Amino acid sequence: MEIIGAVILASIIVALAFTGVVASTLAVIAVGCVIVAVLCMFLGAAFVLFFKLALAVLLALFCEWLYARALGFAGERLSITALQDPALVTRVSWILAAVTTGYLCFLR
C-alpha cells in the first residue's frame, strides 16, 4: 500500500510539475504575444501619426501656394496696396495655410 501511495504521490508531483512547466511556457508565450501586440499597436499609431503629419505638411504647402497666388492676384486686380507686398502676402498665406491645415487635418 505504501508503494502504491508513493507512486501516486510521485505521479501527482510529476503531473503538477509538468503542468507548471506548460503553464509557465504558455505564460511566457502569452506575455511575449502581449508585448508584440503592444509594440505593433504603438508602431501602428506612430505610422498613422507620421502619415497624418506628412499629409498635413503637403496640404499646408499646397494651401500656401494657393493662398499666395490668390492674394497676389487680389492685390493686383483690386489695387489693394497691402497685398502688393510679396513679403506680407507670404506671411498671410502661411498663416491661412496653417489655420486651414489645422482645421482640415486635426480638428475636423
Give residue-wise pLDDT tens across range 16-37. 666 666 666 666 676 667 676 6
Note whether 56 and 106 are within 8 A (CB): yes
* Unique residue bearing C-alpha cell 505564460: 27
> What's the whole-model pTM score?
0.61
- Grade residue 80 by pLDDT with cuts at 50, 70 and 90: confident
pLDDT digits (tens, 9 = 90+) for 39-72: 777 877 888 888 888 889 999 999 999 999 999 9
The pLDDT score that the predictor gives to residue 41 is 76
